[in-house]
Amino acid sequence: MITAKDLLLTIRIIISMIKIKKTISIFTAFITAFSLLFPACVFADEEESYEKDSIYLETRIMKISNEGDIVLGLTEKALEEAGFSIGDEVKVVIKSYDYSEKMPYFTSDSDSEPDECALIMDGKTASLSTAKGCFAEDEDLLYSETGSDGKLVWEDEYGNNGAGVRVKVYLHEKGAYLEQYNMRNPERSNDRDDYSSGKKYANFREITAGTIGREVLFRSSSPINNAIGRSEYAAKRVEKAGIKTVVNLSDSRKEAEKYIHESGNTYYKSLLDKGNVLTLDLNYDFDSDSFKKGMADAVSFMSEHEGPYLIHCTEGKDRTGILSALLEAVMGASIREISDDYLSTYKNFYNYSSDSEEYDYAKDKYLKEIFRAIADADSNSELSGMDYHEAALDYLGDGGATDEKINKLIEKLKGKGENINNVLNFSVDKTATEEAKEAGGELKVKTGDRSVAVYSGAKVRPGKSSVIVNGDYLYNKRDYQISYKDNIHAGIMTAIVKFKKKTDIYDSGVKKMILSYKIEPKKVKEDDVRVRLNKKGTDVKLVRDLERGERIKEKYYSVDMKSRKVTFNGDYSGVVSF
């Protein structure tokens, strides 16, 4: 039976075909669209020698998307009524292009292996898509060029845009890919009582890998889209964390406004109204130029706004996972730290234990896909020895993020007590270069009177992420190696920077720079410390640094019981009364 919905789809197809290809006659468009009303049939195929008497649907190409997916005139209802199910293996035949390939039938590109072609049903109509790729070009069917209006124009070898080309989709084998689909779409409980906390239920957590500071960066499932039933729980934690800036990876502005209206999330709405929410509406193709641009846009946006920051998509898993991994890598996180954060989602959502088959699958498949995308590596590459700090910088740079924006965000993400990226901004003139050449490439820079930090008990690491030499940004591990001496206590510390051969400064003759900086003692006020007397009240038993929560060693202060004053020295300075 033909429904009103079917007729509406037919009209849309007619209009779409006429707009896409003006040379197609209205009659041809009507015939093509009309054929889509009756796409499912069961009979012996006399044209092909394989799978005789198999079930197949005949349809036509509606358009080619900007990502290179071939959009078909097949509805979910038509596929279901013909006997197709998610996880089946199908065979797609496009005779005009001499194309015949087997592939899975899935609901999303995220169900597919990297570079795997699939028939995808994630909207009103099905499409032929390649995970992390461009189906039309990867399969040598159509090619794109940018038109005078800036829009993509697709053409096949005959000079046509593909609209109206006949396609047959055969049901080749039932359930052939069902195991893969189930592993990539594990069942999870939607009962809050099955989770130990609201945070785990909402997949909400703080990111502190590498040199990322505390209470600066958070990730979550969507606090506005209730598709997985967790938005209310995520929203509460977003407000409690005092989030000021949001990167929404999954929704368009229009969609975000719709979800906000439906959820009644006034806190998120206020951030959106203030311009503190970036909506990117990204797909799962981590290797595509559009996705890389989205990641770069996120970094640029965050660099111009204040934290605490929230990154989210719908589930807070894949798209959120790769942006989190990129930021963690930029901030010097280890592979272990990045891996643990990503896999926490599978423990939170699915209650996977670390020794389960499902956990190993997520680690072997999803996590490796994240690392491969960042490192721009193929499926056969060894990933363990790669420099993900450098790879993350390259990935963001390819997307359009500038060194200035990246470094600005590094400053914002670092901990309040961390001095990891400041001070090392210097110029090397010709005189200094000649001095270095005479000293075998070593240049000593006397900056001992320049303060780099105030004593906090933590290691002071200027230049840990990057330095600026003659106006150019250089990155640790990629462009240089850095080490430190005497970088905890008040006094003079030393930073030793060894430049790598590919850098301009190395080529100029400066191979190593030795820089000295001053760590200032901490100025103590009465509210900063607690002075405790012995039981008799005749002497000071201890002095505690309340900010650090630690006892101050006796060598750093002297006591005058007559004036009842403590005078500090060494790592501390100042006088307090008690």
Q: Are residues 162 and 234 in the same domain?
A: no
Q: Are residues 430 and 355 in the same domain?
A: no
Peptide bond into 308 cis (omega under 30): yes
Q: Which of 37-51, 152-166, 412-426, 493-507 is predicted with the least confidence, judged by mean pLDDT?
A: 37-51
pLDDT at 17 over 80: no
Residue 411 and residue 413: Cα distance in Å, rounded? 6
Q: Are residues 301 and 259 in the same domain?
A: yes
- Cβ contacts of 574-578, under 8 Å, gap ≥ 24: 574/523, 574/524, 574/525, 576/524, 576/525, 576/526, 576/528, 576/529, 576/531, 577/526, 578/531, 578/533, 578/540
In a domain, 511, yes or no: yes
Domain that holds residue 562: 526-577
Side-chain half-sphere exposure of 569, counting CA atoms within 13 A: 7
pLDDT at 386: 74
For the chain, state the CA radius of gyration. Answer: 30
pLDDT at 422: 52
Q: Are residues 120 and 217 in the same domain?
A: no
Burial 141-158 (b: 16+ CB within 10 A, else e): bbebeeeeeeeeebebee
End residue of a domain, out of 362, 387, 410: 410
- Confidence class for position 21, pLDDT limits 50, 70, 90: very low
Please report, for the domain that includes residue 259, its CATH number.
Answer: 3.90.190.10
pLDDT, tens digit, 9 for 90 and up, residues 336-382 = 899 999 999 988 888 888 888 888 888 887 888 888 888 887 766 66
Higher-confidence residue of 21 and 442: namely 442
pLDDT at 226 over 90: yes
pLDDT at 442 over 70: yes
- Confidence class for position 14, pLDDT limits 50, 70, 90: low
206-233 mean pLDDT:
93
Q: Are residues 277 and 198 in the same domain?
A: yes
Please report, for the domain that includes residue 163, its CATH number.
Answer: 2.40.30.90
Average pLDDT, the chain: 85
pLDDT at 534 over 50: yes
pLDDT at 154 over 80: yes
Q: Are residues 233 and 331 in the same domain?
A: yes
pLDDT at 25: 47
| Total domains in the fold of the chain | 4
Q: Please, what is the Cα angle at 171 between 169 and 176, to 5 degrees?
A: 125
Q: Are residues 13 and 145 in the same domain?
A: yes
In a domain, 500, yes or no: yes
End residue of a domain, out of 368, 387, 410: 410
pLDDT, tens digit, 9 for 90 and up, residues 255-278 = 999 999 999 999 999 999 999 999
441-451 mean pLDDT:
77
pLDDT at 290 over 80: yes
Q: Are residues 402 and 440 in the same domain?
A: no
Q: Are residues 423 and 406 in the same domain?
A: no
pLDDT at 22: 42
- 468, 424 Cβ separation under 8 angstroms: yes
Residue 332 phi, psi dihedral angles, 5° rounding: 80, 20
pLDDT at 565 over 90: yes
pLDDT at 356: 86
End residue of a domain, out of 183, 211, 228: 183
% residues pLDDT > 90 (the chain): 47
Residue 379 and residue 462: Cα distance in Å, rounded? 37
Q: Which of 7-16, 91-100, 299-308 is predicted with the least confidence, judged by mean pLDDT?
A: 7-16
187-215 mean pLDDT:
89
183-190 mean pLDDT:
84
In a domain, 562, yes or no: yes
In a domain, 568, yes or no: yes
pLDDT at 50: 40
pLDDT at 418 over 60: no
Residue 473 phi, psi dihedral angles, 5° rounding: -80, 130
pLDDT, tens digit, 9 for 90 and up, residues 230-239 = 999 999 999 9
Q: Are residues 444 and 391 in the same domain?
A: no
pLDDT, tens digit, 9 for 90 and up, residues 488-507 = 999 999 999 999 988 888 98
pLDDT at 165 over 80: yes
Q: Are residues 406 and 317 in the same domain?
A: yes
- 552, 529 Cβ separation under 8 angstroms: yes
β-pairing, 466-469 vs 425-426, is: parallel
Contacts of 86 (CB under 8 A, 6+ apart): 105, 106, 107, 121, 178, 181
Q: Are residues 207 and 311 in the same domain?
A: yes
pLDDT at 46: 43
Residue with tokens 């990057």: 466
pLDDT at 423: 47
% residues pLDDT > 70 (the chain): 87
In a domain, 188, yes or no: no
pLDDT at 424: 65
Virtual torsion, Cα 536, 537, 543, 546, nearest 10 deg: 100
